[in-house]
Structures are given as C-alpha cells and as structure tokens.
Chain A
Amino acid sequence: MALRRVLGLGGALGRRSCCSKRPLPPDFVEALRAVVGGPNVSTAMAVREQHGHDESMHTCAPPDAVVWPQAVGQVQELAALCYRCRVPMVPFGTGTGLEGGVNAVQGGVCFDLSRMDAIAELSLEDFSVTVEPGVTRKALNSHLRGTGLWFPVDPGADASLCGMAATGASGTNAVRYGTMRPNVLNLRVVLPDGRLLHTAGPGRQARKRAAGYDLTSLFVGSEGTLGFLTQATLRLHPLPEATAAATAAFPSVRAAVDCTVQVLQAAVPVARIEFLDEVMVGACGRFSGLELPVAATLLLELHGSRHGLAEQQQQAEEIVRLNGGSGLAWAEEPEERGRLWAMRHSAWYAALALRPGCQGYSTDVCVPISRLPDVVVETKRDLQDSGLTGPMVGHVGDGNFHCLLIFDPQEPAEAQRVHAFAQRLGRRALAAGGTCTGEHGVGLGKRALLLEELGQEGLDTLCSIKAALDPHNLMNPGKVV
C-alpha cells in the first residue's frame, strides 16, 4: 500500500524492521494447545486474518496463531511460553482500534482475550467496578442499569474496556468526565514473561494514592507493548439527573470554534461539545437521514440537575447567539438525543460513503484551546489547497479534532498528498504546543512524529522503560517505540 510505505512504517529510527518475521518453533502450536485446549487455538487462515487488522487502513498482518485464554492463569502460562521461545505476542480485545494496534507485523501469537468477560467487585458506595477484557463499555453500562451509575468514556465504538485502557481512549464525554487515564484505578497486568502485576497493588481501589511511581498511568496508553491488561478497576460516575442536547449552525468554522472556546472559558460544565465542518455535517445528515443545515456546526450536550440544566442551557444559548450561531433547539427525550449522537458516531462511515470504494485515514491532533481556532482554520485551508476530501469532526472541548481523509488507494499521487497533509498537520499541532495524537495512539503510523513530539530524551526514556519490562521486544513489536 503506497501510503503505508510512504508513512515510513518499519525501519525508521534504526529500530528493528517491523517486517521481519520468523516462523514458529516446531511443536509450538501443540504447546499452546496443552495450555488452553485444542478448541481455543486456531491456525486457520480466516481466523488469523480476522485478528490481523483493526478499523484502520493499515494492511492486514495476520499472526501465526490465535489463542483464546479463559483465565488469567492461562494468559500467564501462554506468555511465559512465548517468552521462553522468543515468539511475539499481540493482545486483542475487540479489534476496533484506529492505529493498527493489533496488526501482527512480526507474526507471533494473537491473544484474543474476549472470553475473559467477568464483571466483578461492583461497589455502589465506592463507585468502582472491575472488568475483564471481554467486557465492552456498552455491556458494562447495561449491567449498571438500575444502579444510578455509569462509565462515561465513550469513544464511539463498542470497544473492550481493557482495550480502551490500553489505548488511553477518550471520546465525546472527556471534556467533563475525563479520558481513560483518570478513570482507571488499578490494572491487573500479565507481563511479557508471565509474571502478574497489580499496578496499584492487589485488590486496591483508592480514589487517590501517592504510593510509588504511578504504574497504572504507565500501562494506560501502552498499546499492548508493555504487557496484557487482563483486568481493569474503573471509576464510575453518577448518571446525570437531566440531559439536553442541541446542534447549532455557524456562519464560519472560526465562529464555531470561537464559540467553543468561550463556552469553556465561561466555565459552563458542558458534557460534550463536538464540532463538525460543513462537509461532515452534509455527509452525516445524508447518511443518517437527518435534515441539518450544511454549515460549520456544534453539537453539544449538557448534564445536570433540573434547575442547574436550565441555567446551563441559558448560558450556552447566549454564547451561541453572540457568535452568530442559529437553529439551536434542545432535544431532551432519550430518543431524540440518541438520534443526534448516532448521527455523530457514524461520522467515519458517513465520510467513507462520500466516496464509495475509497479508504479512510483519520488524523488525531490535539492542541491547547487557545490555539484551536487558528489551527482549525489553517487546516481547513490546507485541505482545500491540497484538493483532498477530508471532513473535519472533533472533540473541540479538548482541543482535539479529526480530519477523516478519504482517498483512492489506487492513486499513488493522492496517497502522497494525504501523507504530506498529515505530516504538515502533525507538525502544525506540535508547533502550537499540542500532540500528534490526542486519543487514537501511536500504533504503527505515528512513530516518526512521536520522536519530534517528545524529543530524543523523551523517546530514549520510553525505550528504557520498554527495555526494562520487555527486553526481547516480544510485546506487540513494531508499535509505539
């Protein structure tokens, strides 16, 4: 794939090429079967291909074998076996990532952890619960129905919660409830050599702690390169008493983004504030059958008590009006709100539908709020100058936005323009004091930008930590560092 090559995957920075693969040692698959049982090991091509890609456009890289451990003890045994035989290991949750995190670029064994799906230690007083990798965020919230609590991190996809911890996921609610990092209290990690580590100590879920280096935060966002996240203790939140959502159309991209900045600076505790440019709104409206004015749009949601909500609504309306926004109508029933958010969450598919037969690539920069209007406007101009199809959508409340670049994989010139645009955007964000990846992770495609972002010392420190925990580079090799 032209874009993959051009993105410099593998071989960059003198690290081991991600394309070198060694065959499995003899009798290895038998040894895997001895741990989990015959039916829980597969070398069938269809199964391996299914586990060799996620939702990104990175080419499928199937592992040599897929295993389904049923308990953490089995994960430990399998890891110890792979470690002894120097076989790469790739953790797999739901395969809904966006950066090629599960692609087995050096082959090896894919650990599909979805059969470990226990929800345990739900504490309604402590607002915490522990979940295994097979539990997705919608399954957890469904389980919590009737308790008055929920887990608010919402990246759109119905992803594995442990997978969300592994990628440091975020989403539409982060502006009010935070990303995964502050909402993970403890992790049960199987290290590459099979040892078991509880990052905050076994069975602990203190809401705050000052006990030693923050290992929990180290493993959140480690993208499967430091160990298997086999259980996460999560912080739950009370469900809001009242919720209201609305869209507002603006005369320009700058007006919409300025409005966002002002809403935040007015300290309105907005729960979600999403930006869609006119291309995105047009695509989403068509895809979801909703009639929306084709203009730069904000989609916001407020949570609070009945009285508090009314106050927030008034404040938001005023700021929207001041910025030339129009068409603001509050949706309070769950059905209407559900329709608005389904429209937003289908953005990826709506963008792909703009050019059937094409592939998509999502950028993910995040900049300080004060720099957001300039960066967004400049990016929009760059998109138009480059002649690219790239509807923009984003969690502007965090300073994070995505350009969903839709391009023809058969057109090398277009792939080149997409790559150049992504590089310029990454560097524009870095120059504005931001990051090249706000929530999707580094995965396969952003390793070069990571060096520019952290600097040599930063990257060297990451490599030291990686070498300390995974000296043979067996955990998801070819990703992040």
Chain B
Amino acid sequence: MAALRVLVGVKRVIDYAVKVRVAAGGGGVQTQGVKHSLNPFCEIALEEAVRLREGGAAAEVVAVSVGTRACQETLRTALALGADRGVLVEVGEGAAVGPREAAAALAGLVGRLQPQLVLLGKQAIDDDCNQTGQILAAMLDWPQGTFASRVELEAGAVRVEREVDGGLERLRLRLPAVLTADLRLNQPRYATLPNIMKAKKKPLEVMAAIGVPPEPPLLRVLKVEEPPARQGGERVENVAALVERLRSSGRI
C-alpha cells in the first residue's frame, strides 16, 4: 500500500443555504457577491481520502479543482480539511466547465500525477449532473464505484458498498479506480483554526489544462427561469362543493 496517492476533485459551488436567483437576461443564475463554498459531496469524498491517509492506507491526498482563480479559496479549504497539496486547473472567466470538461481536465492531471484512486462527490449541488465520475472512468478506462457509502482498500483493489435503488451493492474493483461519494459515506470534519493556519503554507499549484485540446461545448443553456409563483389555495364547504369545483375546472 506504500505511496498510494489519492486525487480528490473539489468543486466550488453556490452555498447550499443561499436563495438562488435567476440572473438578469435569464441565461443563468446570479453568482456575483453570492456566498460560494465547497460542494458538500466533494467534502465527503475529501474526508474519506483524509481518513484513508490517517489510517495508513494512503500516503498522499491531492485536492484538485477545475475553474477560475476564485477556486483557490476552495482549495485552501480542502487543504485545511486535510489535503496535502492542491492543484487548480485554470480556465478562463466565463468558460463553461461541465462534467465533460471537468473529466477531461482531471484525466490530463491523472496522466501526470499517477494516482491509484480518484475520489469525487457523486454530484454537484448546482447542476445535479452526477456525470463527472462516470465520464472520467470511461476516459481513463478505469473501473468505477459510484454512490459509495463504504470504502475499504486492500492490496491492489478497493471494496465499495454502493447505495442503489434496490438496496446495497458490494463491488470489488481493481486499482486504479474512480469512486464517487454518497451522503452516508462519512460525516466530514470542520476546519479548525490551527489547520486553517497550516493550510496557508501547503503547496497550491495553478496550471493550464494538460493534454486534452479544448472542444466546443456540446450543451448550450437556452433559458433559466424561476418556477411559477405558488397560487393561494381555496377552501370549500363540503365534499359536494369540492367535487363540483374539480368538475368545473376540468380536472375530473
């Protein structure tokens, strides 16, 4: 198990507690001046990686983010939560980074860093895509264990318990492998002040995407709009009146 390196993807997303508003023009949501934080599922993935290192099964945890310079903040948080070093694969302002672009950037980094394990969150809370881990595994031709709720490393392999609709599925994957973290995998720690201080000294590298040439995006957002405002309810006196209202509004 010596020198096992874990790569953890961390995404900078709008904080889950923020009330998201549609941006003027309807092309997206407001992000200026809005609180951002580390995607909760990425935090769970990071926590699992740090526990693997603390338990001796892994030697190094590298946190990586694909995005603009603002993602350095997210990487510093990841360092405060226990990652050993951080890498930012930088993209230009306004560049769309969907699952395909993120997976391509990660694949390039995997070629350089040679990790035995890539841990990602199962999905990001801004787009809910749940695709990056799967696309990355396909690009690398590595086995994948998604929706992991339990992870155990062995010599040359990893045992994963997956939460699927039918229940729990247990897999054994040969390393190197890609795993995505589900909610019940662990409860992440909080960053403490001494660790935040130490994180300032840990290495954080900024680089351009490696290897994969930029491709035109396959998806274009046409419109973003709020759901229709909730209409007030109406009280009726009795069952007969209810049936009458349902009939007259064409519902029955």
A residues bordering B, Cβ < 8 Å?
139, 142-143, 145-150, 238-241, 305, 333-335, 338
Contact = CB atoms under 8 A, between A and B. Distances in A.
Contacts of A149: 193
B51 to A, nearest CB: 9
A335 B187 CA distance: 6
A148 B196 CA distance: 7
Interface string B173-191: 0000000000000111111
A146 B192 contact: no
Contacts of B37: 145-146
A334 B189 contact: yes
B194 interface: yes
A150 B192 CA distance: 10
Nearest to B51: A333
Given A146-B38, A146-B77, A334 B196 contact: no
Nearest to A141: B190
Contact of A239 (B38, B188, B190): B190
Contacts of B191: 145-148, 239
Contacts, number: 42
28 contacts: A139-B17, A143-B35, A146-B37, A146-B38, A146-B77, A146-B80, A146-B190, A146-B191, A147-B196, A148-B190, A148-B191, A148-B192, A148-B196, A238-B193, A239-B190, A239-B191, A239-B192, A239-B193, A241-B192, A241-B194, A241-B195, A305-B194, A333-B187, A334-B187, A334-B188, A334-B189, A335-B187, A338-B187
Contact of A150 (B35, B186, B188, B190): B190
A239 B196 CA distance: 11
A305 B193 CA distance: 11
Given A142-B17, A338-B187, 6 more contacts: A139-B17, A145-B37, A239-B192, A240-B192, A241-B194, A333-B187
Nearest to A143: B17
Contacts of A139: 17
A334 B37 CA distance: 21
A333 B188 CA distance: 10
Nearest to B35: A143
A333 B195 CA distance: 18
Interface residues of B, number: 17
Contacts of A240: 192
Contacts of A147: 191, 196
A471 B187 CA distance: 52
Contacts of B194: 241, 305
Contacts of A238: 192-193
B148 to A, nearest CB: 16
Contacts of A142: 17
A335 B192 contact: no
Contacts of B193: 148-149, 238-239
Interface string B2-32: 0000000000000001000000000000000
A23 B120 CA distance: 61
Contact of B186 (A148, A305, A335): A335
Contact of B190 (A143, A145, A305, A333): A145
Contacts of A335: 186-187
A236 to B, nearest CB: 11
A146 B39 CA distance: 12
B19 to A, nearest CB: 10
B86 to A, nearest CB: 15
Nearest to B37: A146
A287 to B, nearest CB: 21
B97 to A, nearest CB: 22
B48 to A, nearest CB: 12
Nearest to A239: B192
A239 to B, nearest CB: 5
A147 B76 CA distance: 11
A142 B38 CA distance: 12
A145 B188 CA distance: 11
Most buried by A among B186, B190, B191: B190
A337 B114 CA distance: 36
Contacts of A239: 190-193
B152 to A, nearest CB: 16
A425 B144 CA distance: 62
Nearest to A333: B187
Contacts of A150: 190
Closest 7 CB pairs between A and B?
Answer: A148-B193, A334-B187, A238-B193, A239-B192, A148-B196, A335-B187, A146-B77
Contacts of A333: 187
Contacts of B192: 148, 238-241
B183 to A, nearest CB: 12
Contacts of B77: 146
Contacts of A305: 194
Contacts of B35: 143
Nearest to A144: B190
B56 to A, nearest CB: 16
A150 B190 CA distance: 10
A147 B196 CA distance: 8
A334 B187 CA distance: 6
B225 to A, nearest CB: 22
Nearest to B15: A143
A139 B17 CA distance: 8
Interface in B17-76: 17, 35, 37-38
A381 B196 CA distance: 51
B202 to A, nearest CB: 15
Contacts of B80: 146, 148
A148 B77 CA distance: 10
Contacts of B196: 147-148
A250 to B, nearest CB: 30
A85 B37 CA distance: 48
A146 B190 CA distance: 6
Nearest to A242: B192
Contacts of B187: 333-335, 338
Nearest to B188: A334
B206 to A, nearest CB: 21
A148 B80 CA distance: 9
Interface in B98-149: none
